[in-house]
Amino acid sequence: MQSTAVIIAAGLGTRMKSALPKAAHKIAGRPMLAHIIAAAAQVFERIVVVIGPDMPALAKLAAPHEVVVQHERLGTAHATRMAESCFGEGPVAVFYADNPLVSAATMRALKARLEAGDAGLVLLGMTPPEPGKYGRLVTEGGYVTRIVEYADADEAERAIGFCNAGGLIARGTDMRDWLAEVGNDNAKGEYYLTDIVAIARGQGINVAALEAPYAECMGVNSRAELAQAEAVFQTRARAAAMADGVGMQAPETVFLAADTVLGEDVLIGPHVVFGPGVVVERGVEIKAFSHLEGCVVRAGAVIGPYARLRPGADVGEDAHVGNFVELKAATLGKGAKANHLTYIGDAEIGAGSNIGAGTITCNYDGKAKHKTIIGEKAFIGSNTALVAPVRVGAGALVGAGSVITKDVPDGALAVARGRQVTKAR
C-alpha cells in the first residue's frame, strides 16, 4: 500500500518579521520546506504539501509534489484534512516545514514503528534540554496515554522531560476517521491534530511514541531559532564530512551548503564558505577565506586563500586559483594557474596556461556577455585586459599591460600598449 507524507507549510512566519513565508527561509542555502521534502522523499512514495493562500513561492518549491491550499488557517488538523483526498489506505505521516531537520532515518523508524502492528498511532517524541512550554507525553506501560499542554499541566506533569515533537503517523483509513471527529471547542476555535490521540485512545487503540534526537526536532519560528537550526545543521554536516575523509583545520569556521559534495582527502582551511551547488573532487586544497558557489573543483586543484568561485566555474585537475582571484562561468584547464588578483568570467582557459596578476576578461559590453578563449600553455602577462569576444592561441604570449582586442594566433607574441617615452628633466 502506498505511503504518504503530508507536510504542513502554511505558516506566515510572523515572528520572522519577513515578507517570505516561514517555510521559505533557508538553512545551509536550502529552504526549510526543501529540507523536509528531501528527507521524506527517501521514505514515502507520495508527498503532499499544504500551503496557505497566495504562496506561489512555496508551491514552486514543492514541485513536482502535490500541493493543496489551506484557505483558512483553522489549525493543524484542519490543514491535514486539506490533504485528505490524497490519503490511501497505507501509512500517512504528518510533518511540519518548521521542523526542517527531521532526518530520513527518523522518518523511516517512525514508519517501521507503525508497521510493527501493536500501535495504530505513533507520535514523534523528544527530550529537549529545556522542555519549556512543549506539550508533555504522558506514558503508561510503554504507550502514550495523553498529551498535556504546558498550560494545562500540573507540577508533576511539567516535570516530565519527554515532549511532543509534532510529527506522527497512522494508517490512512484511521487518520481520515479521526480527523472527522476533531472539534474546535477550545480558546482559539481551532482544530488541533494532537486531539486524535484522545480519539484513538477512546477507541481502544494503542498510541506509541518514537524518541528522536532533539537536534532533529527543534522548531523554527523566529530568526534566532533559524540561526540555532543552522548551527545544528552545520555541526552535523561538518562531522559527516570529516568522517568521510575531509580535513578541516578549524571546523567551526567552515560553512557547508545542504548539497555540498566533498571528496576524500579534501583539505579545507579556516573561514571557507560553500554556497549551493558545489562539487569538490578528492585531494583538493581550499585555503582560508575562500567562497565557492555553483562550481566544480577537480582533483588535486588548489584554491585560495581569498578566492571566489562563482556559478559556472569549473577548475581542472591540479589547477591553481590563488588569492583574490574570481572565476565566473569559466573553465580553467588541467594544471592552469591564475594565482593573483584576477577576474576570469565567461572564459575557457586551456591546460597549462598561466594567467598573470591583474588580468581581466572584459566580458560585458553593457548589453551582452562575450567569451574569451585561451589555448593550452598560453602565457598572459600581468595587468592584461582581454576584451571579449577574443581568442588567444595555444602557446601564445601576451605582454604585460596589454589591452587585447583582436585574436592572437597560436605561438604568437602580442603586445598592445603605448610606447614608453623617457625625457630628460
**Catalytic residue positions?**
340
Find where cell 505513533 sits.
Answer: 122
For 51, 66, 168, 169, 392, the CA distances from 142, given in Å and listed in that order, are 35, 36, 17, 17, 75
| Cα–Cα distance for residue pair 347/336, rounded to 1 Å | 13
C-alpha cell at 87: 490519503
**3-state DSSP of the chain:** CCCEEEEECCCCCHHHCCCCCHHHCEECCEEHHHHHHHHHCCCCCEEEEEECCCCHHHHHHHCCCEEEECCCCCCHHHHHHCCHHHCCCCEEEEEECCCCCCCHHHHHHHHHHHHCCCCCEEEEEECCCCCCCCCEEEEECCEEEEEECHHHCCHHHHCCCCEEEEEEEEEHHHHHHHHHHCCCCCCCCCCCCCHHHHHHHHCCCCEEEEECCHHHHCCCCCHHHHHHHHHHHHHHHHHHHHHCCCEECCHHHCECCCCCEECCCCEECCCCEECCCCEECCCCEECCCCEECCCEECCCCEECCCCEECCCCEECCCCEEEECCEEEEEEECCCCEEEECCEEEEEEECCCCEECCCCEEECECCCCECCEEECCCCEECCCCEEECCEEECCCCEECCCCEECCCECCCCEECCCCCCCCCCC
